Amino acid sequence: MNNTTSSTEKNSEQNTTNENSYQPLSHEQIRNFVAEDDSLEGKVILVTGAGDGIGRVAALTYARFGATVLLLGRTTSKLEAVYDEIESMGGKQPAILPMDLETASYDEMQKLERLIDKEFGQLDGLLHNAGILGALTPLEMYDVDMFAKVMQINFTATFKLTQALLPLLKDANNGSIVFTSSTVGTYPRAFWGAYALSKQALEGMSDIFTQETQNTTNLRFNCINPGGIRTNMRAHAYPGENPMSLKTPEDIMSAYVCLMSNESIGVRGQVVELQPKD
Ligand SMILES: NC(=O)c1ccc[n+]([C@@H]2O[C@H](COP(=O)([O-])OP(=O)(O)OC[C@H]3O[C@@H](n4cnc5c(N)ncnc54)[C@H](OP(=O)(O)O)[C@@H]3O)[C@@H](O)[C@H]2O)c1
């Protein structure tokens, strides 16, 4: 799925054959989505990497638009800070789910599914946002242990967590799963090594899940490519760049809310670029 325009066209074609389908929004409509105060009311949404960067702001934003947010991450103190912010702004009581995606077992993820079922009785949205950069170096010299770590956190754990949570997500009226890709996930680039490969794998997984589920469930799978955003990860990737020249996580939240809201029910198998180059 290298070309976002053609995947939109492909999606429109498929939807004409499905009586229950909705007209998909264009990528521009997704980027410019204007949420209502209750756009996510009644939804339970899990965000990975919710303690920092884009994930932190996505969690706060989902809460602001009415969702109950489940905060998953590896640094509990950061998740607690987000929890407190949600409480102080009057959002629905969130939950903290400490989990290190480098080491968590599939069994733990299945236990998490049972816990969410018991405590919340539903899961409507899953934002896969956690990720690491790894090394920026030629593949010839890429440290193999680092390669495995990047693939584990960015891709393998994402697959396992998706599969473990699928029973709940399939039960949702209009479940939405969003993977976080990158420009190098769509267009491979020298020296981006395991990070680029992990993001390519995510885009492929989203496409395969879409093909496998679109005729039998309401569940939708899409990818977001945020583009360059002012976070710690970006600063590590581009140390000479002026961070003030970049958009902030807050600037790109329209698309994050849109893909979780019922307005995007017809959007499936897309890679939505949030800062396309004209
Ligand atoms: N910023 C950009 O310009 C940009 C561009 C394209 C794509 N993206 C993608 O956007 C997503 C968010 O990036 P960001 O810029 O916000 O990065 P960030 O500021 O570095 O935040 C990454 C988040 O992932 C969490 N995380 C890392 N390893 C984890 C693990 N083993 N288990 C659980 N959580 C873990 C981090 O938790 P801790 O804080 O506890 O370490 C943190 O909350 C990533 O998938 C990234 O690839 C970002």
Query: Could you list the pLDDT tens digit for every one of the 278 residues in the chain?
Result: 333 333 333 333 333 334 345 678 999 999 999 999 999 999 999 999 999 999 999 999 999 999 999 999 999 999 999 999 999 999 999 999 999 999 999 999 999 999 999 999 999 999 999 999 999 999 999 999 999 999 999 999 999 999 999 999 999 999 999 999 999 999 999 999 999 999 999 999 999 999 999 999 999 999 999 999 999 999 999 999 999 999 999 999 999 999 999 999 999 999 999 999 87
Identify the residue whose C-alpha is closest to ligand 1 atom 40. 75
Ligand 1 site-directed mutation target among 83, 129, 184, 273, most atoms within 8 Å of CB: 129
Atom number, ligand 1, closest to the C-alpha of residue 103 = 31
Query: Could you give the CA distance from residue 267 to residue 91 in angstroms, rounded to a whole number?
Result: 27
pLDDT number for residue 128: 99
Q: Which residues are catalytic?
A: 195
Half-sphere exposure of 24 (CA within 13 A, CB side): 24
Both tokens of 26, joined, read 């264009």
pLDDT number for residue 21: 53
Distances (CA, A) of 76 to 71, 100, 177, 188: 10, 10, 24, 34
Nearest to 260 by CA among 56, 33, 99, 91: 33
**Which fold does the domain 4-15+23-273 belong to in CATH?**
Rossmann fold (3.40.50)
Query: Could you give the CA distance from residue 104 to residue 102 in angstroms, rounded to a whole number?
Result: 6
Which of helix, strand or coil describes residue 221? strand
Burial letters 179-193, b for 16+ CB under 10 A, else e: bbbbbbbbeeeeebb
Which of helix, strand or coil describes residue 70? strand
- Cβ(1)–Cβ(269) under 8 Å? yes
Identify the residue whose C-alpha is closest to ligand 1 atom 44. 131
> Element (H or E) spanning 73, and its range?
strand 68-73
Q: At what angle do helices 193-213 and 144-151 cross, to 10 degrees?
A: 30
Atom number, ligand 1, closest to the C-alpha of residue 229 = 3
Burial group, residue 137, by CB count within 10 angstroms (0-12, 13-18, 19+): middle
Both tokens of 102, joined, read 């480098």
Tell me the domain boundaries of the chain: 4-15+23-273
Atom number, ligand 1, closest to the C-alpha of residue 51 = 43
- The radius of gyration computed from the CA coordinates of the chain, to the nearest angstrom, equals 18
Q: How far is the CA of 53 from the centre of ligand 1 (A)?
A: 6
Atom number, ligand 1, closest to the C-alpha of residue 249 = 16
Ligand 1 site-directed mutation target among 46, 47, 48, 54, most atoms within 8 Å of CB: 54
Query: Could you give the CA distance from residue 259 to residue 272 in angstroms, rounded to a whole number?
Result: 10
Burial letters 202-224, b for 16+ CB under 10 A, else e: bbebbbebbeebbeeebbbbbbb
What lines the ligand 1 site, CB under 6 Å? Answer: 49, 51-55, 73-75, 78, 100-102, 129-132, 153, 180, 182, 226, 228-229, 231-234
pTM above 0.85, yes or no: yes
Q: How far is the CA of 23 from the centre of ligand 1 (A)?
A: 32
Query: Could you give the CA distance from residue 49 to residue 35 in angstroms, rounded to a whole number?
Result: 23
pLDDT tens-digit map of 106-159: 999 999 999 999 999 999 999 999 999 999 999 999 999 999 999 999 999 999
Q: How far is the CA of 131 from the centre of ligand 1 (A)?
A: 4
Query: Could you give the CA distance from residue 205 to residue 159 in angstroms, rounded to a whole number?
Result: 8
